[in-house]
Homo-oligomer: A and B are copies of this chain.
Amino acid sequence: MRSREDWRGHPMRLPSARFASSGDVSVKDPNTLEIASRVLAGEVPAGARLIRWLEDDDPRGAAVLAELYPHTGRARVVGITGAPGAGKSTLAGMLIGELRARGQKVGVVAVDPSSPFSGGAVLGDRIRMQQHAADPGVFIRSMGSRGQHGGLARASFDALLVLDAMGYDTILVETVGVGQEEIEIVSLADTTLIVAVPGLGDEVQAIKAGLMEAGDVFVLNKADRDGAPETRRQLELALHLRTQHHGEGAWIPPVIPAVAARREGGAAVLDAVDAHTQSLRESGEITARRSARAYAVFHKLLRDAAARRLLEAALARPDAAALVEGVRSLSIDPHAAAASLVSRLELAGI
């Protein structure tokens, strides 16, 4: 196994070494260390199992993750989002090819339900992705839309950590670009790539409303269409307005034209992503972004656990039964019933 460094430049201690030399094996589940070892060795079945455990809130997942965590932080995370039909998946496919050509291992976390990666797309798209699915240097994990305790954002961040630990150099996170959680997911990536298409003035409005602040690199896909120069000007103007108050040396998001369906523009897009990564490293902002990502997961986990505990306490109160009955019989409105139960908890000092 090649020697690895984490993103802070520290050499990484692999748990196989720890496994052999340290005396603490007896206090851990040997299976935990075994799985952690396999994940760090990049074994796909072990990685997939760990992601599933984390999704299911299986305690083994958290145990393995605790072992892996010191070995994460090396991968670069690139979020890809944009309006439906902008060609996010096709662009992701082109970027995978470009990253592979540059010798990188690529992980993909597909949060977009209409993505061919997650099986939601039309047949043609799916066939175009087959080549990558068969490439051992590419690991695609689609976040199913059901069965994730704690929501999509947390499950996606967990999957990122696992793919990072598995040794993928760049991890693409594709989300549908609508939905609060989806926007949160991409905006917490190291680099967020917004995919736009020409010809719709509304498009720029929508991006301005929701995603302008989140974008680090803008791709004007389908740039062979009418209206591409105009849309590009509009985007660049909006970006200029956004960044004009930033200090000298601040990153100015570029707008890169591409025609992903014809594999045109991939190198330029990847160069822009690389330049952004470099800029993040030089300014130290990469640490701030990763810190924010970690805190977001922590906050979500804490919130879930808190909700579970207090919800149980609330519903176990003897006076809860009448309220629940009132809600079920449609005689008390849900807002009034919830407010009443919460105020009783407050009175009880819980």
Contacts and interface: CB of A to CB of B under 8 A. Distances in A.
Smallest CB-CB A-B distances: 8 pairs: A113-B178, A306-B310, A301-B338, A307-B307, A69-B333, A298-B334, A297-B334, A84-B114
A336 B282 CA distance: 30
Interface centre among A61, A145, A333, A345 (most CB of B within 10 A): A333
Interface in A321-348: 324, 327-330, 332-339, 341-342, 345-346
Contacts of A146: 180, 183, 210
B298 A202 contact: no
Given A62-B339, A294-B328, 7 more contacts: A83-B120, A84-B84, A179-B179, A290-B330, A291-B328, A294-B327, A294-B333
Interface of A: 54, 61-62, 65-66, 69, 73, 83-85, 113-114, 119-123, 145-148, 152, 157, 161, 176, 178-180, 182-183, 200, 202, 206, 210, 287, 290-291, 294-295, 297-299, 301-307, 309-311, 313-315, 324, 327-330, 332-339, 341-342, 345-346, 350
A338 B298 contact: yes
Given A122-B85, A324-B298, A314 B307 contact: no
A301 B114 contact: no
A338 B123 contact: no
A294 B324 CA distance: 10
Nearest to A154: B334
A337 B206 CA distance: 37
Contacts of A338: 298, 301-302, 305
A333 B179 CA distance: 26
Contact of A324 (B295, B307, B345): B295
20 contacts: A54-B335, A84-B121, A113-B178, A114-B114, A120-B178, A145-B183, A152-B179, A157-B334, A291-B330, A294-B327, A294-B333, A295-B324, A295-B327, A298-B334, A301-B334, A302-B314, A302-B338, A306-B307, A306-B313, A307-B310
